A and B are shown apart, each in its own frame.
Chain A
């Protein structure tokens, strides 16, 4: 049976789509509240720092950020193709590389907290 590399791309894409659907609206709402001058107490440095320093907090933050990045990269690749940018290999390489770079950066920042 022929092996395909598609599942490798597809699993994080589907997981990321679900994570974005469940988590992204409320996360954007929180930063939007902060942007409008009504930052909730949870976004204080102290509270964010405590959350990001705990093992569970690190896991949640990294999971949400990395899966969302990967899913977005895959969706942007499809969007580029649909809008007529047909250099798919180039687009895919750039976007997936950006998603991997962003995930590694997130892991490095989390390790520093």
Chain B
């Protein structure tokens, strides 16, 4: 007895166009490109800081180029999108059981959002933005 094996077609480069949820998944994947590139920028900044005041001032000045501004706006959007989707996933990734019931998922995600807001505010205050 032989049956025709089921071959599931999966075009390796275009599969995510099939479903809106695949597209949403890929849009989150793409944020890793900008976040990764920004990490490289951080290492470069650290090098400039180690090189002394002149190098650091030059680094801050180089940040002001139009290409750098566009990149940083994209990186900011990517970082916020990554953060929001990460916090939304926490309620699925680490459900919290107390007694018989589970803590409502939105409470877990909400706590992460609150901690995120407080931490960001503290960093902004320490950096002297306000």
| Chain B: interface size category | 35 or more
A72 and B39 form a contact (CB under 8 A): yes
B127 and A45 form a contact (CB under 8 A): no
Q: Is A55 located at the chain interface by the 8 A CB criterion? A: no
C-alpha gap A102/B39 in the complex (Å): 9
Which residues of A lie under 8 Å from residue B41 when comparing CB positions?
31
Contacts A25-B76, A84-B12 known; A45 to B39 CB distance under 8 Å?
no
Q: Is A35 located at the chain interface by the 8 A CB criterion? A: yes
A82 and B73 form a contact (CB under 8 A): no
A68 and B30 form a contact (CB under 8 A): no
Which residues of A lie under 8 Å from residue B46 when comparing CB positions?
52, 61, 65, 105-106, 109-110
Contacts A24-B82, A32-B72, A113-B50 known; A65 to B32 CB distance under 8 Å?
no
Contacts A20-B83, A39-B60 known; list 6 others, CB within 8 Å: A28-B38, A30-B129, A34-B64, A35-B63, A36-B64, A42-B128
- Please report A residues at the B interface, Cβ cutoff 8 Å: 17-18, 20-37, 39-43, 45, 47-49, 52, 61, 64-65, 68-69, 72-73, 75-76, 78-79, 82-84, 86, 102, 105-106, 109-110, 112-113
19 contacts between A and B (CB under 8 A): A20-B79, A24-B38, A28-B72, A29-B76, A30-B123, A30-B124, A31-B72, A34-B60, A40-B124, A40-B127, A40-B128, A41-B128, A42-B128, A65-B46, A69-B39, A72-B32, A72-B36, A106-B43, A109-B47
